[in-house]
Copies of this chain bind each other. A is one copy, B any other.
Amino acid sequence: MESAMRDTYEPTDRTVPTRSKDRAVYDRERVHALLDEAYLCHLGFVRDGAPVVLPTLYARVGERVYVHGSTGSRPLRMANGTPGGAATEGGEEPGLAVCLTVTHLDGLVLARSAFHHSMNYRSVVIHGTAHPVTDPEERRIALDALVDAVIPGRSRDSRPANPRELAATAVLGLDLAEVSAKVRTGPPVDEPEDMDLPYWAGVVPVVRSYGTPIPDDAMDPSIPLPEYLRDR
């Protein structure tokens, strides 16, 4: 299967930006890498005709991304077609029309003109229908991936979910089919006549980093900091 796949995602009406078309990226490997570098997304769906955007974790496994949550949470109930809102508003099949967006902010771009101020960023936008994952094995893989997306190796170093916890957890899968990334890099782009203005111009890098881990007060202090947290 994989070997027969195209190297790029097919652009669609929704994944061709109206602006800055040169910043669009459809390369499959680059999109995967951008998705794998983060774990927090903003998930959009439609409720009663109005948009809703919520932050949530995600993880990629192959050509699918997963999100999860309580079976009682709104988008997960809606995806199941259970009371609280029919999936695609009018549709009868389980599933929820979503837009899953991941944004890496890399730099603040200071131009000589206020107008040309910008951001260096790398974002991925996935359109599609998220479906409840019911197969036990796929659910296990997805839930492990969601833990490991945040802290690689952690899923093997914590108590696995028990049947009660699994029953309380809904998992949604979203295929990577209608996908694009958008990337801006580099220095400011100013008007030629502005180049000699006396304003500082350049890029301020934005960095996400991690502080010193804070052990839970209730934890046995003889438990060492795990290897997978030492490198951060």
Interface residues of A (CB under 8 A from B): 14, 18-19, 40, 42-47, 49-55, 57, 69-70, 72-74, 77, 88-89, 97-101, 103, 105, 108, 110-115, 117, 119, 121, 123, 125, 127, 143-144, 147, 150-151, 154-155, 157-162, 165, 169, 187-188, 194-220, 223-226, 229, 232
Contacts and interface: CB of A to CB of B under 8 A. Distances in A.
A15 to B, nearest CB: 11
A54 B215 CA distance: 36
Contact of A215 (B123, B143, B201): B201
Contacts of A53: 42-44, 51, 53, 99-101, 125
B158 A110 contact: yes
A157 B32 CA distance: 39
A194 to B, nearest CB: 6
Quick one: which of A57, A72, A125, A211 has the most chain B CB within 10 A?
A: A211
B187 A202 contact: no
Contacts of A216: 187-188, 201-203
A93 to B, nearest CB: 15
Number of identical protomers: 2
27 contacts: A18-B74, A19-B70, A42-B42, A42-B101, A42-B103, A46-B46, A46-B49, A50-B97, A51-B52, A52-B125, A53-B53, A53-B99, A55-B105, A57-B119, A108-B151, A112-B158, A114-B143, A114-B144, A114-B154, A115-B169, A196-B220, A199-B223, A200-B213, A200-B215, A200-B226, A202-B213, A209-B209
A117 B145 CA distance: 13
A43 B52 CA distance: 9
Given A18-B73, A123-B55, A158 B114 contact: yes
